[in-house]
Structure 1
Amino acid sequence: MKAVHFGAGNIGRGFIGLQLVKTGYEVCFVDVNTTVVEALKTRNSYDVGYASEQAGRETVEGVTALNSLSEPEQVIAAIRKADVITTAVGPTLLAKIAPLIAEGLQQREQNTPVYIIACENMIGGSKHLEQEVARYQSIQEDWYFPNAAVDRIVPLQHHEDPLYVEVEEFFEWVVETKDLPESHPHINGVTYVEDIEPFIERKLFTVNTGHAIASYLGALFEKETIAESLQDPRIRRGVQTALYETGWLLLEKYGFNPVDHSAYIQKNMKRFENPRIHDEIVRVARSPIRKLSPSDRLVKPAKELMERGIEADGLARGIAAALTYFDPNDSESSELHAYISKHGIEDTLHTYLKLSAKDALGSRIIEHYEAMQNPVNSIA
């Protein structure tokens, strides 16, 4: 069995590639990082460590890599023979890898099914990738693009070995089966479900929402890591408040068991607090424009709660904190900071969040934003 995985970064090596190898796939990573690609070619293996009390480690063997910039023909040849194609490149890069995937798929023999799974932090990632591929090549009936939800915390790495990656022990990989044949592959550790939307939103509105708010409130109070942020009772209370708000929304929409979901929230709080995971604020907080978009982890649940008559004050506070965030090394943060400075917060809400300063949610966000100009008193 052969798999091609786009993205030889920390998620690719420490999660998706690892599970594919455990299933028995020969994995070919595709990336543009010359150092990582050449090391994978030379060694055909790498180590994964676990941020836990046991601090275990395992070796992932039987892997190789290709550079998509200098070796496109070899990548196309690998796609031609692959049983599974996965990605972990970030939502914005799916459009960039789509032409190469389309060319490889076009050259496949007929009646040879292939499964293309975008393992990205976004809703409908695989279907989005399918649309991008369709711009270059008509989609064949045996090319399957099942949506997926993935969850594993992999912080920024600082190791001498460019291939070594350290991850948390917990992971979740859910794949939707409603458009798949019964003969679809079963990857080690994957949960297969008929309808993935409840699982995507549970993860997005709990893990991603909580992580983001911890980062933006943490930055406001000059913390360096997520674990450090949650040692501050003001920040911990702010995160937990927002997660119980999103919990109400998930219970309303999907009928999750309240006791089970409360336990899920607390499990994720413990994950964020893990002192062995040096998860830096600058990593989690980056790309605030994407995270503040109307369909993402902060604004979407807040709007849906307010429409149901449920207060979303914790989420409004988290959104306001995101609007105060500034990292000159992050292009989205710089753009947002410049726009607020030039046009003001009300215009920013309308332009980026598609919210009005006159509605209940918009006015609540502005109230918190103004209070955060004096951050000592910004969280009651």
Structure 2
Amino acid sequence: MRATIIGGGRIGRGFVASLLKRNQVEIDFFDTNKQLMKEFEQYNSYTVHVLGNTEENTVIDGYHSSHIDDSKAWATELNQTDIIFTAVGGKNLTSLGTTIGKNYQQALAKGEIPSFILITCENWMTPADDLQQAIESQLTNEEKEVFQNHVDVTQAVIRASGTSAPPGKETANPLDTWVQDYWVLPVDGKRIQKHSKPDLRYFEFNDNFGEMLAQKIYTNNTSVALIAYLGYLKGISHVADAANDPEIEPILEAGYQEINQALVYSLGVSQESQLEFSRVAEAKYKDYAIVDEVVRIGRDPLRKLAVDDRLIGPAKMALDAGITPKAISLATAAAIYFDYSKDPAAEELKKIRETQGVDTVLEEICGIAKDSILANLIKEGISELKERQWIKEED
């Protein structure tokens, strides 16, 4: 079996590659990063280190790598691959779909009909639909029908973390990466209709995938955003330190209660399933072996404060369920004051807040009325953070 991984970051070359290598699958990488391509060419192998369990480390070797714009490489790849995995970030799916669509069209023009399974591994609400729409936007109606008859586009939920090297663990190989000791990749099995489900260890092809993506985003992403934004205000650098902080921990516990009740009500998932999601998430973020920076989690606050994203989305769900999302609102208040100087989006957010005020942020960035119940909860959160002296500036 041969697989293609598009995206050579921590999840792509780390988590996904280690699962495939353990299944003795040949791996080809595609990425936009030219420096990464040079490193793939320079090194014949690298190690995926498992945090807290070195016996599970996996050596990745025998791979090939190509730049995403290499049309010759695509011409070969589309006809040889059995599965394509994407790990590029949800906001890049449209441009990636355009690239795949154009290369698929070129293959059809040569009389070839590539057939494979495409699995998104993105932290995104509708990754498979977004990618398929972008691919098909490049195809004629006839070509689109061929694509739909020969390619299954489905989606996975990534619940494992990939991190940079823990302190003191750096190696001479820049490709080495570190992942959580977690070995399950749930995949939406119902969307695989033209092919047999691959017989791969660690892959769970679930025909009742249902709302799992939304559960993941509104459990993991919401809770880690709470940890990161509050931790940033307190001057804490790492996620685990913030999650275990005696002042943040009770807010986190309250946040999980709000999230759980909101998702059980709004998504119709079982209470048992949701509690399991939150238990796994909390254990991950409190694990000191997983070294991750709060500024990495907090970056791009303009997107993360959007109306249907990880903070405002579940807060609105909670209100619909008759729950007051005090902890989520406090996290949102902290996010509004995320001003990390190396993040352009954070700098832009700071400028809007300082020149136009919090109400403008709430209305234009968060998409909520400045006098709404949720807006007032967030403003109460800002006042509380100032009382705690976690926000030290004066408006």
Same structural fold, with TM-score higher than 0.5 when normalized by the shorter chain: yes
Could you say what the CA RMSD is over the residues aligned between the two structures, in angstroms? 2.2
Cα gap change, 1:254/1:340 in structure 2, threshold over 3 Å: closer, same or farther?
closer
The aligned residue for residue 137 of structure 1 is 139
In the alignment, the residues of structure 2 paired with residue 358 and residue 187 of structure 1 have an alpha-carbon distance, to the nearest angstrom, of 52
Residue of structure 1 equivalent to 2:102: 103
Instruction: Note closer, same or farther for the CA distance 1:79–1:249 as it changes in structure 2 (3 Å cut).
Output: same
Partners in 2 of 1:373 and 1:211 — Cα distance? 21
Q: Which residue of 1 aligns with 2:60?
A: 60
Aligned partner of residue 376 in structure 1, secondary structure? coil
C-alpha separation in 1, matches of 2:11 and 2:241: 23
State the Cα deviation string for residues 264-307 of structure 1 (Å, max 9, x = none): 42332221121122211111111112211122211111101102
Match of 2:360 among 317, 325, 347: 347
Other-structure match for 1:50: 50
CA distance in 2, matches of 1:110, 1:187: 27
- CA apart distance, 1:145: 1.2
TM-score, length of structure 2 as denominator length: 0.88
Which position in structure 2 is the counterpart of 1:12?
A: 12
Q: Give the 5 Å matches for 1:296-315.
A: 296-315=309-328
Of 294, 297, 322, the residue aligned with 1:284 is: 297
Deviations 1:141-178 (A, max 9, x none): 22221132212111234543111111110254222122
Tell me whether 1:23 sits opposite 2:35 in the alignment. Answer: no
Counterpart pick for 1:242 among 248, 255, 270: 255
The 1-side partners of 2:133 and 2:374 are apart by 33
| Shift in CA distance, 185/315, structure 1 to aligned 2, threshold 3 Å | same
Distance 2:276 2:119 in 1: 29
Pairwise CA distance, 1:54: 5.1
CA contact (8 A) 1:146 1:179 kept: yes
SS in 2 for 1:13: helix
Secondary structure in structure 1 of the residue aligned to 2:386? coil
Distance in 1 separating the partners of 2:232 and 2:139: 44
User: Which residue pairs with 1:162 in the alignment?
Assistant: 174
Name the CA distance, whole Å, in 2 between partners of 1:187 and 1:146. 16
How much does 1:311 deviate?
1.4
Q: Is the aligned partner of 1:184 residue 2:192?
A: no
Report SS of the residue matched to 2:260: helix
Write out per-residue CA displacement over residues 152-210 of structure 1, whole angstroms, 9 at most, x where no aligned residue.
11123454311111111025422212232262334431222224342112211221111
Query: Unaligned stretches of 5+ in structure 1?
Result: none
Unaligned runs of 5+ in 2: none
Q: Is the 8 A contact 1:90 1:121 kept in 2?
A: yes
SS in 2 for 1:315: helix
* Structure 1: distance between partners of 2:95 and 2:276: 39
- Give 1:110 deviation, angstroms: 5.3
Match of 1:128 in 2: 130
- Compute the TM-score of the two structures, normalised by the length of structure 1: 0.92
Q: C-alpha separation between the residues in 2 aligned to 1:52 and 1:21?
A: 20
More deviation, 238-247/98-107: 98-107
Cα pair distance change 1:289/1:171, threshold 3 Å: farther
Q: In the aligned structure 1, how far is the partner of 2:76 from the partner of 2:354?
A: 50
Contact in 2 for aligned 1:242/1:314 (Cα 8 Å): yes
State the partner residue of 1:267: 280
2:21, 2:349 → 1: CA distance?
Answer: 41
CA contact (8 A) 1:72 1:100 kept: no
